[in-house]
Structure 1
Amino acid sequence: MIEMKVTGIVLNAASRSPMILLKDSSERRALPIFIGQAQAEAIIEALEGHRPSRPLTHDLFANILNDCNVKLDKVIIHSLTDDIFYAVLCIEFNGIKKEIDCRPSDAVAIALRTNSPIWVLEEVIADASIPVDTDADDAERQAFRKFISSLSPDQLIKKGGYEEKH
């Protein structure tokens, strides 16, 4: 799993639909997830630190977790099927851990309100992320190729720990 941060809400250029944009810590991969307008507004409110005069649904849920001493350990976006992302809230109460199915947009909105980490499975990132820093990716590939091309077969065997013992 890879921890990701919400970098904002963006609009898809073609459909004008809002998307959550998550980025990994190196900021080299981004994961866009389509969401509804109401969820986009709830996430923007949390990102900007706005507190409504009366709690909205995500605020209410965060308040219930807090007031009932339920800890939101993390949110996990765990799969992507037919262009639909799936997530769970990983909670703990009195030593009992549970995973609760939810939409990624709700999971993110609640995670932002509870300062909980957002994790994404590598398979989801591999399937749906977009490169952000292609120059760094290319530089890393070139450095690896240069390193490999400079090694002899004997050096590869030694570096791999496969030296013959006499």
Structure 2
Amino acid sequence: MKPSLEVPLEIEMQIRGLMMDPVTNMPIVVLKDVASDMILPIWVGVFEANAIALELEKSSTPRPMTHDLLKNLAQGLNARVQKIVVSELREDTFYALIWMEQAGEIIALDARPSDAIALALRWDCPIYVHRDVIANTRQLSDGAQSVNTEELRRWLENLNDDDMGQYKM
């Protein structure tokens, strides 16, 4: 049997960190390819960043937060989140799919990447980014209008663990 030379359509990522954009003061989830140094920054909302930060820090709340409720609901319906995929980049907006299994049936649910990532952390399931998203992100950063994006990407790639710090609300 010959080894497959096919390039996978999805790249497995891990959360490298959660930080504040120094320019816009908006939270950024930094995803890193598990097999290389390639990173993908995704700007997220404050509430979603808080949900991600709570799970990264393994902090508990007195009552279930929305993403905890969604996990509890899925478990109550005997469903399981298998993986999440940042599946598309359209007009500077990222899109994601949450892949779930219930009773042998696989379904994909449309989601914001921030919500999908918050759920992935709670389910301890893999995070993927579609290869086309990476290619489209690179095309955007290669354009002359995106000098700031490329500078930010270089800055993010050169951060060490101390630089990432803790996300603070």
- Please, what TM-score do these two structures have when normalized by structure 2? 0.75
Letter in 2 for 1:57: T
Size of the aligned set, in residue pairs, is 133
Corresponding residue for residue 42 of structure 2 = 33
Shift of 1:67: 2.4
Work out which of the residue numbers 61, 64, 69 in structure 2 matches 1:60. Answer: 69
Aligned-partner Cα distance in 2 for 1:54–1:35: 23
Calculate percent identity across the aligned residue pairs.
37
Corresponding residue for residue 3 of structure 2 = none
Corresponding residue for residue 111 of structure 2 = 102
Check conservation: 1:8, 1:44, Cα contact below 8 A.
no
Letter in 2 for 1:67: G
Shift of 1:47: 0.4
- Rg: which structure is higher? 1
Q: Deviations over 1:56-75 (max 9, x none)?
A: 10000011122221011100
Unpaired stretches in structure 1, ≥5 consecutive residues: 134-166
Aligned-partner Cα distance in 2 for 1:27–1:70: 32
Structure 1 residue matching 2:117: 3-state secondary structure = helix
Corresponding residue for residue 12 of structure 1 = 21
Corresponding residue for residue 85 of structure 1 = 94
- Please, what TM-score do these two structures have when normalized by structure 1? 0.76
Q: Deviations over 1:96-155 (max 9, x none)?
A: 11100010000000110010111101111122264637xxxxxxxxxxxxxxxxxxxxxx
Work out which of the residue numbers 22, 47, 50 in structure 1 matches 2:56. Answer: 47
The CA RMSD over aligned residues, in Å, is 1.4
**Structure 1 runs of 4+ off > 4 angstroms?**
none
Unpaired stretches in structure 2, ≥5 consecutive residues: 1-9, 139-152, 159-169
Shift of 1:26: 3.2
